[in-house]
Structure 1
Amino acid sequence: MTALLYHVGPDDAFSPAFRRKLAAAAGVAVESLVEIRHLAAQVLAAEPPAISLAPGTACWIGCRRPRAVRALLAHAGIVPDAAAVRWLADPPEPPSSSGPEPGRPWFPVIDRDRCRNCDQCRQFCLFGVYARGDADRVEVAHPLNCKPGCPACARLCPAQAIVFPFCTETPINGDEPAPTSPPVAPLTFKQLAARRRGAVSREALDAALAARAAHRDRRE
């Protein structure tokens, strides 16, 4: 059995107690844990090193937020076998009210289990982060175009499918969203045009517009 410990950023620090818990769950020695550091940076590499999971590989994965790690791996084209992979979460302490500077690299990833392919993120983003890819689905095509500290598209997303791993806001940071109704079929462009203002709350829309405007003004 393999046990992987994923660090999303350089500042993730797992306690000895959590390491022992993960090792015990997998039935391996603590010294045998395979640590993958700075996953967010690795998935942006042309050839992501040391993060692949062979199909059907049985393993345990320890991390801060499993949803964020799954979305990061999916961005790199890696989809862990749900039947073979077990997850163990070690949620971080809530950030202070002042909050840290935005983590780097700051970019979004998409939770494919929640995404409805409605295209609102692509149409809303000013910086060309999103594009239509294979099978005409929305993808994060230019992640480093994103402006550090701007999660406006995630606030707008009606499915809460956009994850910013270094954001301090929940569930944008990869925390599990509150239970909602079952996913619905993707909207057509005509349906989107008719319903986009009703897809999110006024509060969420106002926050998204404010964030987008603030980061637009910072463009050089």
Structure 2
Amino acid sequence: MKVLIEWTYRSPKGTETVFKSEEMPAAQALLIANDLEKTGRAKQLVFIDQFDSSWTVKELKGYLKGIEMEPHNIIVYFDGGFNWESKAAGLGCVIYYDQNGKSYRLRKNAAVDGLTSNNEAEYAALHLCLQELEFLGIQRLPVQIIGDSRVVINHLSEEWPVIEQDLYSWADKIEAKMKSLGLQPQYELVSRKANGEADRLAAQALAGIEIIATSEMV
């Protein structure tokens, strides 16, 4: 989770003003807040997360301690590919997360039938990612979701309305899964090049190459 620090600075003569930091990882913010408190000039110090919720130092320390043993700092990349001739779809999923002081990367792909377009394949790829988050036991956490599908990202971030019935069904299914897991998604649209890892997994699935692997990041 990323937060910004907000605090009131009081000068030796009693003049006060409010400062806000840039967003940073919660653990880093706690270290900086500790240094600020040592000056004796920082008053009413709070942390504000991406959803405008406020946290005290004690609350943020408790939160970090509580999630240390569980997967957290979740970043999801998804991509779907569709072969118009064979009507086959390939799904790619990459999940980065931290757990027990270490960082991990999960990669998975899948080949599926029964879809009718590339947009459906993109939605199906994101749904695959949510299934993997559920298998990891991830609940009630912020999740950064990154993809190169303008349709999926703009639909789910409510930038565009969902008109097509088949895509509406996928959007509804994904939002229901998000709600059941208590996830707090943040969507980011990137270029296909920036989504290369998930794109390769989708292409490999279409080529009949199945991949599922979790590795520690060093």
Give the shorter-chain TM-score range.
under 0.3
Which structure has the highest helix share of the two? 2
Q: TM-score, normalised by structure 1?
A: 0.26
Q: TM-score, normalised by structure 2?
A: 0.27
Which structure has the highest strand share of the two? 2
